[in-house]
Structure 1
């Protein structure tokens, strides 16, 4: 009978994993990708302290982050992409706010947004 009490304890210790023996080593931050992701998610340009905090990495490569941001900005701020965002009810990305022709792009997005809104009531 006393051996039955040991069975749960044995089962539980068999499942124990030491968290320090298999701890992954963090890979270096891909700053280009981080900038791309920020632009594509519609985020405005961020300061180094904010970027460092978000990625838990104090060694921000601002130049690479800005290159990635510009690449993502080019993609998300493309007029055709903005039309898709507008028609699907998504908001105008803040990452497009710094472009010189932001008024034109916002007008395209608003037109698509109105069309998407009207189409949603037609169907």
Structure 2
């Protein structure tokens, strides 16, 4: 009986061992292109370097990559059909589309979607 208890104790203690290299953090630099694209697609205005450094805990910002990604995200979000759908969903006009050349046309499409959304919600 005593040997069984000792064997169980040894097995339970050996199962609790932690490998110190299992959860080693990955210290790669941020994907600035992806960060810019994500910000634009979420409707967030362009962030300054200080905000990016604070958000990603990295003072070495690749501003050109961030802005290139932001422009790519704007291409995807700042389309009339997509903005109209945002309005239908009741979402606010994305700040990332305020600076594109057809911002007034996009705002009209968004407003039309908002109006349709409000009209539909009154009917239900």
Q: TM-score range by the shorter chain?
A: 0.7 to 0.9
Question: 86-95 or 54-63: which moved more?
Answer: 54-63
Whether 1:52 aligns to 2:86 is no
Structure number, greater radius of gyration: 2
Alpha-carbon separation, structure 2, partners of 1:9 and 1:59: 49
**For 2:107 and 2:96, how far apart are their aligned partners in 1?**
12
**Structure 1 residue 86: deviation in Å?**
0.4
Residue 108 (structure 2) pairs with residue 107 (structure 1)? yes
TM-score by length of 1: 0.82
What TM-score do the two structures reach when normalised by structure 2?
0.82
Closer/same/farther in 2, CA of residues 10 and 79 from structure 1, 3 Å limit: same
d(CA) in 2 for partners of 1:97 and 1:36?
16
Instruction: Give the Cα–Cα distance (whole angstroms) in 2 for the partners of residues 13 and 42 of structure 1.
Output: 51
1:16 CA displacement: 4.3
Cα distance in 1, alignment partners of residues 72 and 109 from structure 2: 21
Deviations 1:70-108 (A, max 9, x none): 010111111110011000111110111112332221121
Report how many aligned residue pairs link the two structures.
122
How far is the alpha carbon of 1:26 from its aligned partner?
Answer: 2.5
Question: What does residue 79 of structure 1 align with?
Answer: 80
Q: CA deviation at 1:110?
A: 0.9
Q: Report the Cα distance in structure 2 between the residues aligned to 1:28 and 1:122, rounded to whole angstroms.
A: 51
Q: Residues 37 and 12 from structure 1, CA distance in 2 versus in 1: closer, same or farther, beyond 3 angstroms?
A: farther
In angstroms, what is the RMSD of aligned CA positions?
Answer: 2.3
Unaligned runs of 5+ in 1: none
Gap regions ≥5 residues in structure 2: none
Partner of 1:21: 21
